[in-house]
C-alpha cells in the first residue's frame, strides 16, 4: 500500500462514519416526539443539559487558554517544546468536547422519541434508541480519525527534518499533544458530569424516595429533571469525551511507538511509515465494520427480550469477528516484518477486552453468586451490604489484572518475536493490542450510549404518565443495555491500562527529542558516550537511573499511588457535598411551595438544575487540575525517574482501584434490583432498604470516581509527555 492510499482509506472511513452518524440523526429527528407533555419534559431536560455544557465549556475554555499560553511560553520562549504543541493541545480539547456535545444533543432529542416509539412496540423503541446511540459511537470514532488525518497532513507538510525517519518521530510525538488536550477535556467532562449526575441522583433519591416516599422519576420531585439531565451530561457527554480520548490515545501512542520501534538502520522508511499507519488502518476498518454491525442489529416485529439481546450481541460480535479477520489482511498487505504476530496481538487485545467484560458481568450481574450474596447480606442490614460489596469488588480485581497481565506479556512477546529484550517492538505490540481492543468502538459505544437514552425515555414516560406498559418496555431496554454496557466497560478499562503502558514508552521518546532539542546530542552511560538519536530505551533507563532501587523512582511510585486515592476521595466528597445541597433545596421546595406533593403545584425544576450545575462546576476544578499540576511539580523536583515512578505507581493502583470501584458499584446496583425482583422480601422490605443504601454508595463509585480514574491515569502520562522537554534537562534533586 502506498502512503496516499493508506491516508485516504483512513480519511474516507472517518468521513463515512460521520456521514452515517448524520444519516441516523436525521432518521431519528423525523420521528414524532409524542404528546405536548412529553415535548415539554424533553425540552426541560435538553435545556438543562445544554445550560450545563455551556457553563462547563466556559470554565474549561479558561483552563485551556491558560495552559495553551503556558505551552506557548515553553515552546516559543524557551524552545523546550515543539511549536505545534499549543495548537494541537487546543484542537484535541475541542474535538473531544465536540464529540460529547453532539452525542448529548442527539440523546436529548432521542429520549422522548424513544418513549413514543416504545409505546408502539419494544422493537421500535430498541431501534430508535440504538440508532441514536450509534450516532454517538460513530461521531466519536469519525471525529477522532478525522482529527488525526488532518493533523498528520498538516505536520507532514510543515515539519522539516533532515531525514524522513526523524521526521516521523517528530510528527507522531507532536500529535500526542493533541491527545493531552483530549484527555484534559475528557477528565473535566467525566468529573463534572459524574458529580452532576450523582449529586442529582443521590439528592433526588434521598428526599424523594426515602423521605417523601414517592417513586423514581415522579414529576412531583423537584430534582427529577436534574436527575434526567444528569444521565445526559454524565453518561452521554462524559462518556463520549472519555472514549474519544481513549480511542485517540491508543492510536496516537501506538503510532508514536511504531515510529520509534521501526526506526534505525535495520528498517526502511517505508516500513516505519507502515508501522505508524497500522493502528489507524485498524481503526478505519473498525469504523466500516461498526457501521455494518449497526445495520445487523434489527429484529422482526414482536421479538421477545431474548431475541432483542441476541440481535444486539449479533451486531457487536459480527464487527468483532470481521475485525479479527480484517486485521490479518491489513497486516499482510502492509507486509510488516512480523505481520502475523502483530495480527495475533490484535486478537490478544480483543480477547482481553472480552475476558474483562465477562468478569465485569460475572461480578456485577444478579444472575451470578457474588451479586446475589450482596443482596443476601441485606438481610442483616446496610452495614453488611457495604462490607460484602466492598469485599467482592476488591476480590473481583484479580480477574481483570490477570487478563491484563497475560495480555501484556503475550502481545509483547508476539510483537517482539519472543525476545524479551526487544523492548521497542514488544511495546509496539502492546499498543497494537490496545488499538485492537478499541477497534470496534463505533458499535460497542452505540450499545453503551443507548442505555442512558432508554433510561431517559423511561423518565419521560413516567413524568408524562404514559402508562406502566411503556415504562416496562423502556426498563427492559435499559436492562438490556446494562449487559452490553458491562462488556463496553471492560474494553474501556482494559484499553486504558494498555494505552497507559504504551504511553510510558512514548514518554521516553519525548525525552529523547527534548534532549536533542537543547543540544544534548550524546548521553553518557558508564563512561561511554551514546548518540541520543540512536540510544535504546534501555540506554535511557540507565542514563536516568530509572531502576527500582532509585529512591526517586520509589518516591514517585508512592506519589502515583496516592494520587489515585486522593482523586477518588476528592470526587466522592464532591458528590457528597453537591448531593447535600440538592437535598436541602428539595426539602425547601417541599416546605415552601405548597401543593407539590398533591400535584397541584409544579416544583421549581430549574433551581435544582442550577444547583447541580454550579455544584459540579465548582467541585470539578480541583481534582482535575491536580492531575495536571502534580506531575509537573514531581518532574521539576525529582526529574525523569520520579515521573516514571509516578506514572507506574498511578497505573498500578489506578487500574486496580478503577476496576474495584466500577464492580462494587455495579454489584450494589444490581443487588438492589435483584431484591426488587422479589428476592429476600422484595420491594419495600428491610432488605430492600439495606440494598438501596448500597446502591446509593455505589453511584459515585461506578459513575464518578471509577470511570474518571481511566482518564486520570492517561492524563498524567500525557501531561508528562508534553512537559518532557523541560524534565529532560532540569530537575531539582
With H, G, I as helix, E, B as strand and everything else as coil, classify residue 525.
Answer: strand
Cell of 453: 437514552
Contacts within 8 Å (CB) and 24+ apart, 518-521: 518/79, 518/80, 518/725, 518/728, 518/729, 520/728, 520/729
Q: Which of residues 399-438 bind a second copy (CB under 8 A)?
A: 401, 404-405, 408-409, 412, 420-421, 423, 426-427, 430
CB of 334 to a second copy, least distance (A): 24
Q: Is 680 left (phi over 0), alpha (psi -120 to 50) or beta?
A: left
Q: Which of 243, 342, 461, 570 binds a second copy (CB under 8 A)?
A: 570
What residue spans of 593-604 are helical by DSSP H?
A: none
Nearer to a second copy, 61 or 214 (CB): 214
Residues 6+ apart with CB under 8 A from 4: none
Stretch that binds a second copy, among 147-155, 174-182, 543-551, 669-677 (CB under 8 A): 543-551
Contact status: 531 vs a second copy (CB under 8 A)? no
Residue showing cell 439528592: 203
Q: Which of 348, 542, 627, 722 binds a second copy (CB under 8 A)?
A: 542
Distance CA 88, CA 635 (A): 22
With H, G, I as helix, E, B as strand and everything else as coil, classify residue 65.
Answer: helix
Q: Which of 157, 302, 548, 592 binds a second copy (CB under 8 A)?
A: 548
CB of 360 to a second copy, least distance (A): 15
CB of 342 to a second copy, least distance (A): 16
* Residues 390 and 370 sit within 8 Å (Cβ to Cβ): no
Contact status: 718 vs a second copy (CB under 8 A)? no
Q: Which of 41, 324, 390, 628 binds a second copy (CB under 8 A)?
A: 390
Contact status: 337 vs a second copy (CB under 8 A)? no
Q: Which of 11, 189, 377, 671 binds a second copy (CB under 8 A)?
A: 377
CB of 725 to a second copy, least distance (A): 20
Stretch that binds a second copy, among 95-103, 233-241, 557-565, 719-727 (CB under 8 A): 557-565
Distance CA 170, CA 167 (A): 5
Which backbone phi and psi does 530 adopt, to 5 degrees?
-120, 140
Q: What mask of x and - would describe binding to a second copy in positions 573 to 612, judged by CB under 8 A?
A: x-xx--xx--x-----------------------------
Nearer to a second copy, 162 or 421 (CB): 421
* Residues 638 and 556 sit within 8 Å (Cβ to Cβ): yes
With H, G, I as helix, E, B as strand and everything else as coil, classify residue 530.
Answer: strand
**HEC profile of 237-300:** HHHHHHHHHHHHHHHHHHHHHHHHHCCCCCCCHHHHHHHHHHHHHHHHHHHHHHHHHHHHCCCC
CB of 324 to a second copy, least distance (A): 24
Residue showing cell 529523547: 512
CB of 183 to a second copy, least distance (A): 20
Q: What mask of x and - would describe binding to a second copy in positions 156 to 175, judged by CB under 8 A?
A: --------------------
- Please report which helix (H) or strand (E) contains residue 541, including its range: helix 537-543
Q: Which of 5, 566, 601, 629 binds a second copy (CB under 8 A)?
A: 566
Nearer to a second copy, 466 or 563 (CB): 563
CB of 347 to a second copy, least distance (A): 18
Q: Which of 12, 59, 562, 729 binds a second copy (CB under 8 A)?
A: 562
Nearer to a second copy, 551 or 599 (CB): 551
CB of 229 to a second copy, least distance (A): 21
Q: Which of 193, 249, 382, 442 binds a second copy (CB under 8 A)?
A: 382
Residues paired with residue 525 on neighbouring β-strands, in sequence order:
528
Contact status: 395 vs a second copy (CB under 8 A)? yes
With H, G, I as helix, E, B as strand and everything else as coil, classify residue 35.
Answer: coil
DSSP 88-146: HHHHHHHHHHHHHHHHHHHHHHHHHHHHHHHTT-HHHHHHHHHHHHHHHHHHHHHHHHH
Rg (Cα) of the chain, in Å, rounded? 25
**CB atoms inside a 10 Å sphere around CB 537:** 19
Q: How deeply is 119 buried, as exposed, middle or buried, from its count of CB atoms within 10 A (0-12, 13-18, 19+)? A: buried
Q: Which of 283, 644, 722, 728 binds a second copy (CB under 8 A)?
A: 644
CB of 473 to a second copy, least distance (A): 30
Q: At what angle do helices 239-261 and 164-204 cross, to 10 degrees?
A: 160
Contact status: 353 vs a second copy (CB under 8 A)? no
Q: Which of residues 511-530 bind a second copy (CB under 8 A)?
A: 526
**CB atoms inside a 10 Å sphere around CB 72:** 16
Q: At what angle do helices 3-29 and 269-296 cross, to 10 degrees?
A: 20
Nearest Cα neighbor of 730 from 517, 525, 506, 549 is: 517
Cell of 142: 469519525
Q: Which of 5, 66, 73, 210 binds a second copy (CB under 8 A)?
A: 210
CB of 542 to a second copy, least distance (A): 6
CB of 619 to a second copy, least distance (A): 11
Q: What mask of x and - would describe binding to a second copy in positions 280 to 319, judged by CB under 8 A?
A: ----------------------------------------
* Residues 490 and 353 sit within 8 Å (Cβ to Cβ): yes
Cell of 338: 512480523
CB of 237 to a second copy, least distance (A): 23
Nearer to a second copy, 55 or 580 (CB): 580
Q: Which of 215, 264, 467, 569 binds a second copy (CB under 8 A)?
A: 569
CB of 152 to a second copy, least distance (A): 26
Nearer to a second copy, 419 or 677 (CB): 419
**Would strands 528-531 and 522-525 be described as parallel, antiparallel, or unpaired?**
antiparallel
Stretch that binds a second copy, among 16-24, 123-131, 537-545, 603-611 (CB under 8 A): 537-545
Nearest Cα neighbor of 503 from 662, 631, 352 is: 631
Q: What's the DSSP call for residue 214? A: P
Stretch that binds a second copy, among 94-102, 516-524, 596-604, 655-663 (CB under 8 A): 655-663
Q: Which of 115, 322, 508, 713 binds a second copy (CB under 8 A)?
A: 508
Q: Which of 80, 206, 578, 667 binds a second copy (CB under 8 A)?
A: 206
CB of 733 to a second copy, least distance (A): 6
Stretch that binds a second copy, among 48-56, 336-344, 471-479, 646-654 (CB under 8 A): 646-654
Q: Which of 51, 121, 269, 550 binds a second copy (CB under 8 A)?
A: 550
Contact status: 543 vs a second copy (CB under 8 A)? no
Alpha-carbon 663 to chain mean position = 16
Distance CA 423, CA 214 (A): 60
CB of 552 to a second copy, least distance (A): 7
Nearest Cα neighbor of 500 from 311, 709, 713, 357 is: 713
Q: Which of 350, 656, 662, 722 binds a second copy (CB under 8 A)?
A: 656
* Residues 512 and 535 sit within 8 Å (Cβ to Cβ): yes
What is the total count of residues that contact a second copy (CB under 8 A)? 90
Contact status: 213 vs a second copy (CB under 8 A)? no
Q: Which of residues 184-203 bind a second copy (CB under 8 A)?
A: 202
Q: Which of residues 663-702 bind a second copy (CB under 8 A)?
A: 692-693, 696-697, 700
Nearer to a second copy, 238 or 378 (CB): 378
Amino acid at each position: 500500500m502506498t502512503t496516499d492510499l493508506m491516508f485516504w482509506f483512513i480519511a474516507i472511513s472517518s468521513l463515512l462514519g460521520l456521514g452515517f452518524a448524520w444519516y441516523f440523526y436525521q432518521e431519528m429527528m423525523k420521528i414524532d416526539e409524542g404528546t405536548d407533555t412529553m415535548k415539554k419534559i424533553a425540552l426541560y431536560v435538553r435545556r438543562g443539559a445544554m445550560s450545563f455544557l455551556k457553563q462547563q465549556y466556559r470554565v474549561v475554555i479558561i483552563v485551556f487558554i491558560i495552559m495553551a499560553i503556558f505551552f506557548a511560553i515553553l515552546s516559543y520562549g524557551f524552545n523546550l517544546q515543539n511549536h505545534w504543541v499549543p495548537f494541537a493541545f487546543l484542537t484535541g480539547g475541542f474535538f473531544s468536547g465536540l464529540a460529547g456535545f453532539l452525542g448529548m444533543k442527539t440523546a436529548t432529542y432521542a429520549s422522548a422519541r424513544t418513549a413514543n416509539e416504545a409505546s408502539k412496540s419494544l422493537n421500535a423503541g430498541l431501534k430508535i434508541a440504538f440508532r441514536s446511540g450509534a450516532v454517538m459511537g460513530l461521531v466519536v470514532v469519525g471525529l477522532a480519525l478525522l482529527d488525526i488525518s488532518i493533523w498528520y497532513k498538516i505536520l507532514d507538510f510543515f515539519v522539516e527534518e533532515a531525514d524522513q525517519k526523524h521526521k516521523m518521530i517528530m510528527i507522531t510525538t507532536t500529535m500526542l499533544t493533541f491527545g493531552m488536550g483530549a484527555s484534559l477535556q475528557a477528565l473535566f467532562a467525566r468529573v463534572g458530569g459524574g458529580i452532576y449526575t450523582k449529586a442529582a441522583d443521590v439528592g433526588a433519591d434521598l428526599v424523594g424516595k426515602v423521605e417523601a416516599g414517592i417513586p423514581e422519576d415522579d414529576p412531583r420531585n423537584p430534582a427529577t429533571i436534574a436527575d434526567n439531565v444528569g444521565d445526559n451530561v454524565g453518561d452521554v457527554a462524559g462518556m463520549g469525551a472519555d472514549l474519544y480520548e481513549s480511542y485517540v490515545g491508543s492510536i496516537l501512542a501506538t503510532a508514536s511507538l511504531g515510529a520509534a520501534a521501526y526506526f534505525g538502520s535495520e528498517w526502511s522508511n517505508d516500513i516505519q511509515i507502515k508501522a505508524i499507519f497500522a493502528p489507524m488502518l485498524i481503526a478505519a476498518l473498525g469504523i466500516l465494520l461498526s457501521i455494518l454491525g449497526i445495520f445487523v442489529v434489527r429484529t422482526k416485529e414482536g421479538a421477545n427480550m431474548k431475541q432483542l439481546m441476541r440481535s444486539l450481541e449479533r451486531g457487536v460480535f459480527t464487527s468483532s469477528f470481521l475485525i479479527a479477520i480484517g486485521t490479518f489482511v491489513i497486516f499482510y498487505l502492509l507486509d510488516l516484518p512480523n505481520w502475523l504476530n502483530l495480527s495475533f496481538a490484535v486478537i490478544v487485545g480483543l480477547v482481553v477486552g472480552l475476558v474483562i467484560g465477562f468478569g465485569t458481568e460475572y461480578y456485577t450481574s444478579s444472575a451470578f453468586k457474588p451479586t446475589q450474596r450482596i443482596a443476601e447480606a441485606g438481610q442483616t442490614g446496610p452495614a453488611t451490604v457495604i462490607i460484602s460489596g466492598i469485599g467482592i469488588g476488591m476480590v473481583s480485581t484479580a480477574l481483570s489484572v490477570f487478563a491484563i497481565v497475560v495480555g501484556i506479556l503475550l502481545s509483547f512477546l508476539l510483537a517482539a518475536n519472543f525476545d524479551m529484550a526487544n523492548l521497542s517492538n514488544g511495546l509496539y505490540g502492546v499498543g497494537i493490542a490496545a488499538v485492537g481492543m478499541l477497534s470496534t468502538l463505533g458499535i460497542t459505544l452505540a450499545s453503551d450510549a443507548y442505555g442512558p437514552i432508554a433510561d431517559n425515555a423511561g423518565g419521560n414516560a413516567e413524568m408524562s404518565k404514559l402508562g406502566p406498559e411503556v415504562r416496562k418496555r423502556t426498563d427492559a431496554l435499559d436492562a438490556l443495555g446494562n449487559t452490553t454496557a458491562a462488556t463496553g466497560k471492560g474494553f474501556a478499562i482494559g484499553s486504558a491500562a494498555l494505552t497507559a503502558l504504551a504511553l510510558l514508552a512514548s514518554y521516553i521518546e519525548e525525552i529523547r527529542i527534548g534532549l536533542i532539542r537543547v543540544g544534548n546530542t550524546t548521553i553518557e552511560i558508564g563512561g561511554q558516550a551514546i548518540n541520543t538519536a540512536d540510544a535504546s530505551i534501555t540506554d535511557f533507563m540507565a542514563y536516568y537511573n530509572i531502576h527500582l532501587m532509585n529512591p526517586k523512582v520509589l518516591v514517585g511510585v508512592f506519589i502515583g499511588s496516592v494520587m489515585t486515592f486522593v482523586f477518588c476521595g476528592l470526587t466522592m466528597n464532591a458528590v457528597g457535598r453537591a448531593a447535600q445541597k440538592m437535598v436541602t433545596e428539595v426539602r425547601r421546595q417541599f416546605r415552601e411551595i405548597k401543593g407539590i406533593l398533591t400535584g397541584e403545584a409544579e416544583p421549581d425544576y430549574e433551581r435544582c438544575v442550577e444547583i447541580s450545575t454550579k455544584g459540579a462546576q465548582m467541585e470539578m476544578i480541583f481534582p482535575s487540575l491536580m492531575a495536571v499540576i502534580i506531575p509537573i511539580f514531581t518532574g521539576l523536583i525529582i526529574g525523569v525517574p520520579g515521573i516514571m515512578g509516578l506514572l507506574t505507581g498511578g497505573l498500578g493502583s489506578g487500574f486496580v482501584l478503577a476496576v474495584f470501584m466500577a464492580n462494587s458499584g455495579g454489584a450494589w446496583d444490581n443487588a438492589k434490583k435483584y431484591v426488587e425482583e422479589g428476592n429476600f422480601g422484595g420491594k419495600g422490605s428491610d432488605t430492600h432498604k439495606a440494598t438501596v443504601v448500597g446502591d446509593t454508595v455505589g453511584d459515585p463509585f461506578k459513575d464518578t470516581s471509577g470511570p474518571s480514574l481511566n482518564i486520570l491515569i492517561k492524563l498524567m502520562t500525557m501531561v508528562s509527555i508534553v512537559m518532557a522537554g523541560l524534565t529532560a534537562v532540569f530537575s531539582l534533586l
